[in-house]
């Protein structure tokens, strides 16, 4: 049995992801120069999340990790989201 | 105002009774069951355990659901009570309370201010709470109200004093060395007496050195009788040889008018040895005429002509 | 030769000086003992500080200390007890000692990281102590470090903050270690349904340590930067918001309460079935409620802030969530009591402490309802009622569970038994002293005496005198207990490998356990509470 | 059998540690969210004063270094040790360039008095003071992580070079790479939140 739960990713795959990340960086800079009002921040966050997912799934090999680890990451993100979200019950309604 | 409309005391105490009642029942129930089991199934009487199922779904569901219902009812009832605490009657008298290290100052809409909170009996009072320095908390146990004084924002409580009397008022949020002496009272007066007090003198007499000392909270830390508090006593201040720390250097100076004035405006400039550097600056907090009165008073006969030695 | 083997992992090696043999050991049992000794020492220090505090409060006005000293004393009492005793206490000491044994592992997943955790803990403790004697003198902010007071006070707060940060880091590493260990190193046959409940509770705790502690870390860093260069993130004069500090602080510090109490619940869940000779009632419910408490407990921090000036909407949400977190705790209590049903109960010292835990924790939990309720919290918030309440939870709960664990597991660790009679007497004295100390505190709080008061009005004196007297009784009981345990561990009769006839894996080994506890992972064949199978893996 | 177990455990442990790093920065993102909601105009005004060019440059640097470290791992797994070493060197170089860039940027802010206590910042609205306060703490903490990551990778480079991290046992490199990717991840969020506000 292979000692690693995931195989070595090909150079082609990694560079493709890198190119995508650069393109997304370009897009986010471009979008930020448009005046979308409150949408700007959500667009920026959306693109950043997309970029982050690419890094996590490919560079960090999460795609090939067992489901347990994906679940753990989900729990961590959910915790962070609830910390920020619940705080807003205070700051938005004060 | 004989039949009072509604007080914060009732709002809170009803919730107290409800939760305490249920909590006491639960505690007695749990403890009694435990004791009965321990006695009944003690190894002396009951040397062999008898088999019984190690889980029972219906039982576990019941004792999950019942506490759920109980706590939800508690939540609901307590929220109703809380709503009454934040629902200020529209006719409430408006007072502002300012917390500072380490005293309270209450000011009324007509400009009157005081270090005690005077209120008319039976009438709702809405206290707007602000802080000059750190967190404080306005707490009147008799009326079951409490709210933090937070620098930068204004918070509120309201209450209605049910009877004539004097009620304790505490600072409940830790605020430093004299936290526990940030104590004053709510004086509930009959309506007529209160109005008379409110109109008596809108501004305290300019001549009143002692009044100024208490209004600006000086006596919270500096005694007038030579006893040691957070800061040095005012007794025998004028002309005293004082060891101070100026810019990190030790030196000895003789307390004169300039020194007294400087100590009020820049307390850390010449710090008396042996005392913590905790006094806030009063720059911009005291009108010039009042400052002059204070300095004159502190350097005047009754305080400086003191018996030598502490 | 046989005599040497008796000492198991305690046996000194000839390779290096004895002290190095311990403080650089990567064996989980030795690290566990290092934790046990250090948290024990800090506990005694905390008790001494507490007794001094109570002595000051025996009468209004100055009694034994100045106001500044008193404020430093309660700050120190809080910091020592919370960060140096309760948080690392059960997981650090008994978690390290027992977790690998209970799942049949050779050690934790990262033994060297484990040693690093202890060293960081000691470093943090050392810095906390240094903060007393350097800079502007002992911190006087209370363990909560609320701004703006903490960013202004000239006392040596910055070093204390750094100490807390480092101890937090140690706690995170322990959490990482435990989660990995439980996931990866269970012996064959030790599936999730066979995990001892203590392990379940450590698992839930470890997750809270990993996810909540860093928030405290960043908060301490921000406060340090605030003191250093006046960044203004919490300073209203510069656009900051002091209430946000409280959010960040309690985002960690409320879950921290569950870091403190969950392992304690785990200990009690181990002890009750053994001494009632009955399998735990509702194993799954207890395990699930540990996880539920950890999850829901991370969402209720706002109930520390009902009078802080936080929005009423937030009060509504946090009050509701707080009431919900009471449910899994209640379920646990019911399960423990139900485990006693039709058992054959023997009241040996571990069981006495465990039963006292159930009673005292119930009081702590039920008075917590008063604090979770928005209307009543307004009255009792920041009074001695709160002080009494959390001592019922933290001391009556975690403290008693810690004592239960001492009496339950020390015979395993040292292979010797303490004097049962003395232990029972100590238990009784501690129980009486405890209630004498903390019950009057709750009453005086209901009458309106605020906490952190150096001086108080004369009407509060009677109850304060009772509480202070209680502190002496309690201290005497603790002294007797520790002396008895110490004598037992040194000179007690041999305990045998399984004195309580328990069925979890650690009792399969000799007492003390051998240096290589499970060099070959055992094949686990039964659940943790199949008491008929006691002594078999 | 046990060796394989260790590799997976090490990775799990690293991920758990990364979660706590995430939550560490999470506190700062929480503050950012709250203050952005409170002072949207001031945040935009603050963001405009940051150097978009340097920010974008740094973003590209970090993304590229993330690629090189991922490639380094693949190279090692394929047994191409020399390539792996080269890629690791490139990564460390990129991280140093990033820090230099960051230094230039901070220096410019200091020169303009845009720092806590600085002349120009003290005149601005409270919202901007908060913005720059957060900016310095967040990029400072991130910079510290870059420094730690670079040191870690340098050390691992040594281990690869001396043959202690190998094709058969690449756990250290895997974990070092994971840490480096986290540094990149954090920056991916810092970049739009601070430099791209409009």
Q: Tell me, what's the pLDDT at D141?
A: 96
Cα angle vertex B9, ends B8, B10, to 5°? 90
In chain C, residues with a C-beta closer than 8 Å to the C-beta of A86 are 299, 301-302, 314, 317-318
Tokens of residue C416, six digits:
């010797």
| B262 shares its domain with B243 | yes
How many other C-beta atoms can be found within 10 angstroms of the C-beta atom of residue C37?
Answer: 12
β-strand pairing of B113-114 with B124-131: unpaired
Rounded distance, CA B307 to CA C398, Å? 56
In chain B, residues with a C-beta closer than 8 Å to the C-beta of C370 are 16, 19-20, 23
H or E element at residue D116: none
- Asked whether residue B2 carries a pLDDT value surpassing 70, the answer given is no
| B213 shares its domain with B262 | yes
| B111 shares its domain with B188 | yes
- Are D198 and A40 in contact (CB < 8 Å)? yes
> By residue range, what is the domain housing residue D156?
2-195
Specify if C11 maps to a domain: no
- Are C299 and A86 in contact (CB < 8 Å)? yes
Rounded distance, CA C518 to CA C74, Å? 44
Specify if C21 maps to a domain: no
* Distance in Å, alpha carbon of C283 to nearest chain B alpha carbon: 8
Specify if B275 maps to a domain: yes
| B223 shares its domain with B296 | yes
Answer whether the bond into residue C512 is a cis peptide, omega within 30°. Answer: yes
Specify if B105 maps to a domain: yes
Q: What is the mean pLDDT of residues A25-40?
A: 87
- Asked whether residue C241 carries a pLDDT value surpassing 80, the answer given is yes
D78-129 tens-digit pLDDT: 888 999 999 999 999 999 999 999 999 999 998 888 888 788 888 888 899 9
Task: State the sign of the Cα–Cα–Cα–Cα dihedral B256, B260, B266, B271.
Answer: positive
What percentage of residues in chain B have a pLDDT greater than 70?
93
Answer whether the bond into residue C371 is a cis peptide, omega within 30°. Answer: no
Tokens of residue D121, six digits:
């910042």
Pick the residue from chain A with its C-alpha nearest to D198: A32
Chains with 3+ CB–CB pairs under 8 A to A are: C, D
Confidence of residue B3 (pLDDT cuts 50, 70, 90): low
Domain count, chain D: 1
Confidence of residue C175 (pLDDT cuts 50, 70, 90): very high
- Asked whether residue D3 carries a pLDDT value surpassing 70, the answer given is no
Domain ranges of chain A: 9-60, 65-94
Nearest to B173 by CA among C9, C386, C343: C386
Q: What is the CATH number of the domain that holds B261?
A: 1.10.760.10
Q: Report the complex ipTM.
A: 0.89
Q: Tell me, what's the pLDDT at B1?
A: 41
3-class SS at B236?
A: coil
Q: What separation in angstroms does the CA of B106 have from each of B8, B114, D9?
A: 20, 5, 63
Rounded distance, CA D89 to CA D66, Å? 12
Q: Tell me, what's the pLDDT at B267?
A: 82
Domain count, chain C: 1
C81-98 tens-digit pLDDT: 999 999 999 999 999 999
Domain count, chain B: 3
Specify if C387 maps to a domain: yes
B137-156 tens-digit pLDDT: 999 999 999 999 999 999 99
Q: Residue ranges of the alpha helices (H) in C277-343?
A: 283-297, 312-340
| B279 shares its domain with B225 | yes
> By residue range, what is the domain housing residue C364?
29-531
Rounded distance, CA C515 to CA B47, Å? 37
In chain A, residues with a C-beta closer than 8 Å to the C-beta of D33 are 84, 87-88
Rounded distance, CA B148 to CA B99, Å? 9
Q: Which candidate from C335, C355, C373 shows the least CB-CB separation from B15? A: C373
Q: Tell me, what's the pLDDT at A2?
A: 37
Task: State the sign of the Cα–Cα–Cα–Cα dihedral B180, B171, C135, B283.
Answer: negative
> By residue range, what is the domain housing residue B58?
8-86
Q: What is the CATH number of the domain that holds D104?
A: 1.20.120.80
In chain D, residues with a C-beta closer than 8 Å to the C-beta of A64 are none
In chain A, residues with a C-beta closer than 8 Å to the C-beta of D56 are 25, 29
Nearest to C74 by CA among C454, C467, C438, C449: C454
| B29 shares its domain with B81 | yes
* Distance in Å, alpha carbon of B207 to nearest chain C alpha carbon: 32
Q: Are C190 and C104 in contact (CB under 8 A)?
A: yes
- Are A56 and D185 in contact (CB < 8 Å)? yes
Q: Which candidate from D12, D128, D130 shows the least CB-CB separation from C180? A: D12
Nearest to C230 by CA among D118, A67, B47: D118
């Amino acid at each position: 049995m292979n000692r690693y739960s995931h195989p070595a990713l090909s150079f082609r795959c990694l560079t493709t992801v890198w190119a995508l990340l650069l393109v997304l960086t370009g897009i986010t800079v471009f979008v930020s120069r448009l005046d979308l009002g409150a949408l700007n921040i959500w667009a920026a966050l959306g693109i950043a999340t997309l970029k982050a997912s690419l890094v996590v799934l490919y560079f960090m090999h999460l795609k090939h990790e067992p489901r347990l680890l994906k679940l753990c990451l989900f729990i961590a993100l959910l915790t962070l989201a609830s910390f920020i979200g619940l705080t807003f019950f205070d700051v938005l309604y004060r | 105002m004989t039949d009072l409309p509604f007080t914060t005391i009732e709002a809170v105490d009803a919730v107290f009774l409800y939760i305490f009642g249920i909590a006491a029942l639960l505690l007695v129930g749990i403890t009694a069951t435990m004791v009965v089991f321990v006695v009944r199934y003690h190894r002396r009487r009951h040397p062999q355990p008898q088999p019984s199922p190690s889980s029972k779904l219906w039982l576990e569901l019941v004792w999950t659901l019942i506490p759920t219902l109980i706590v939800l009812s508690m939540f609901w009832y307590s929220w109703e009570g809380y709503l009454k605490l934040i629902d200020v009657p529209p006719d409430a008298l408006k007072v502002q309370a300012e917390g500072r290290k380490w005293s309270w100052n209450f000011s009324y809409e007509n400009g009157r201010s005081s270090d005690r909170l005077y209120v008319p009996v039976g009438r709702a009072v809405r206290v707007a709470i602000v802080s000059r320095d750190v967190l404080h908390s306005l707490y009147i146990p008799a009326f079951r109200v409490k709210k933090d004084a937070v620098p930068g924002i204004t918070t509120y409580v309201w209450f209605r004093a049910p009877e004539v009397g004097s009620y304790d008022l505490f600072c409940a949020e830790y605020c430093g060395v004299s936290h526990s002496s940030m104590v004053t009272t709510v004086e509930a007066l009959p309506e007529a007496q209160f109005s008379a007090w409110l109109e008596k003198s809108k501004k305290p007499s300019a001549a009143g050195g002692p009044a100024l000392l208490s209004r600006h909270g000086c006596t919270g830390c500096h005694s007038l009788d030579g006893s040691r508090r957070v800061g040095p006593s005012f007794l025998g201040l004028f002309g005293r040889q004082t060891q101070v720390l100026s810019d990190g250097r030790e030196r000895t100076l003789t307390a004169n008018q300039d020194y007294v004035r400087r100590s009020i405006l820049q307390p850390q400039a010449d710090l008396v040895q042996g005392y913590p550097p905790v006094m806030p600056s009063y720059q911009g907090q005291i009108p010039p005429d009042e400052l002059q009165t204070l300095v004159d008073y502190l350097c005047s006969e009754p305080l400086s002509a003191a018996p030598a030695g502490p | 030769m046989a005599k040497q083997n008796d000492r198991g992992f305690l046996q000194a090696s000839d390779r290096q000086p004895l002290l190095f043999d311990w403080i650089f050991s990567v064996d989980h049992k030795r690290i566990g003992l290092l934790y046990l000794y250090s948290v024990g020492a800090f506990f005694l220090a905390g008790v001494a500080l507490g007794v001094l505090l109570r002595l000051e409060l025996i009468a209004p006005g100055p009694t034994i200390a100045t106001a500044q000293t008193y404020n430093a004393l309660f700050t120190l009492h809080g910091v020592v007890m919370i960060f140096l005793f309760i948080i690392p206490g059960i997981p650090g000491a008994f978690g390290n000692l027992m977790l690998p044994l209970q799942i049949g592992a050779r050690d934790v997943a990262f033994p060297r990281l484990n040693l690093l955790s202890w060293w960081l803990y000691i470093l943090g403790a050392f810095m906390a102590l240094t903060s007393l004697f350097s800079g502007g003198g002992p911190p006087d902010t209370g363990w909560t470090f609320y701004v703006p007071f903490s960013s202004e006070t000239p006392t040596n707060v910055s070093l204390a903050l750094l100490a807390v940060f480092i101890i937090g880091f140690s706690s995170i590493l322990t959490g990482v270690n435990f989660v990995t260990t439980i996931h990866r190193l269970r012996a064959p046959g030790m599936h999730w349904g066979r995990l001892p409940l203590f392990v379940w509770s450590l698992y839930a705790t470890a997750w809270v340590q990993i996810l909540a502690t860093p928030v405290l870390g960043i908060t301490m860093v921000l406060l340090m930067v605030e003191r250093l260069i006046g960044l203004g993130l919490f300073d209203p004069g510069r656009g900051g918001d002091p209430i946000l500090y409280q959010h960040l602080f309690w985002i960690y510090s409320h879950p921290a309460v569950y870091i403190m109490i969950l392992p304690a619940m785990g200990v009690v869940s181990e002890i009750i079935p053994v001494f009632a000779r009955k399998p735990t009632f509702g194993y799954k419910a207890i395990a699930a409620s540990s996880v539920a408490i950890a999850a829901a407990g991370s969402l209720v921090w706002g109930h520390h802030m009902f009078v802080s000036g936080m929005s009423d909407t937030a009060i509504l949400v946090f009050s509701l969530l707080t009431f919900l977190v009471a449910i899994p705790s209640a379920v646990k209590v019911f399960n423990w009591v139900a485990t006693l049903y039709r058992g054959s109960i023997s009241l040996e010292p571990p069981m006495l402490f465990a039963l006292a835990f159930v009673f005292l924790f119930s009081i702590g939990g039920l008075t917590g309802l008063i604090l979770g309720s928005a209307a009543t919290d307004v009255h009792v918030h920041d009074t001695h009622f709160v002080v009494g309440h959390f001592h019922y939870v933290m001391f009556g709960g975690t403290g008693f569970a810690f004592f239960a664990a001492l009496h339950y597991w020390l015979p395993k660790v040292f292979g010797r038994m303490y004097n049962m009679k003395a232990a029972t007497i100590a238990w009784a004295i501690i129980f009486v002293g405890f209630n004498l100390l903390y019950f009057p505190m709750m009453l005086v709080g209901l009458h309106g005496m605020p906490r952190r008061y150096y001086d108080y009005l004369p009407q509060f004196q009677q109850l304060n005198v009772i509480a202070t007297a209680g502190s002496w009784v309690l201290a005497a009981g603790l002294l007797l207990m520790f002396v008895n345990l110490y004598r037992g561990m040194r000179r007690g009769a041999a305990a045998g490998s399984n004195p309580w006839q328990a069925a979890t894996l650690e009792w399969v080994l000799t007492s003390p356990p051998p240096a290589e506890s499970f060099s070959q992972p055992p094949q686990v064949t039964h659940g943790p509470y199949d008491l008929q199978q006691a002594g078999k893996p | 059998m046990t060796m394989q177990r260790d590799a997976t455990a090490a990775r799990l442990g690293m991920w758990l540690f990364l979660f706590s790093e995430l939550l560490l920065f999470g506190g700062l993102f929480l503050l950012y969210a709250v203050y952005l909601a409170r002072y949207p105009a001031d945040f935009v005004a603050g963001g405009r004063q940051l150097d978009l060019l340097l920010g974008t440059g740094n973003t590209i640097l970090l993304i590229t270094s993330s690629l090189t470290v991922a490639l380094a791992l693949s190279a090692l797994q394929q047994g191409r040790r020399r390539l792996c070493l080269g890629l690791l060197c490139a990564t460390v170089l990129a991280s140093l360039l990033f820090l230099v860039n960051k230094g230039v940027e901070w220096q410019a802010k200091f020169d303009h008095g845009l720092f806590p206590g600085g002349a120009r910042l003290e005149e601005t609205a409270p919202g901007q003071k908060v913005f720059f306060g957060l900016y310095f703490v967040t990029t400072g903490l991130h910079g510290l992580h870059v420094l730690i990551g670079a040191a870690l990778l340098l050390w691992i480079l040594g281990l690869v070079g001396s043959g202690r991290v190998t094709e058969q046992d690449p756990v250290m490199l895997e974990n070092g790479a994971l840490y480096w990717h986290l540094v990149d991840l954090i920056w991916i969020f810092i970049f739009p939140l601070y430099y791209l506000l409009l």
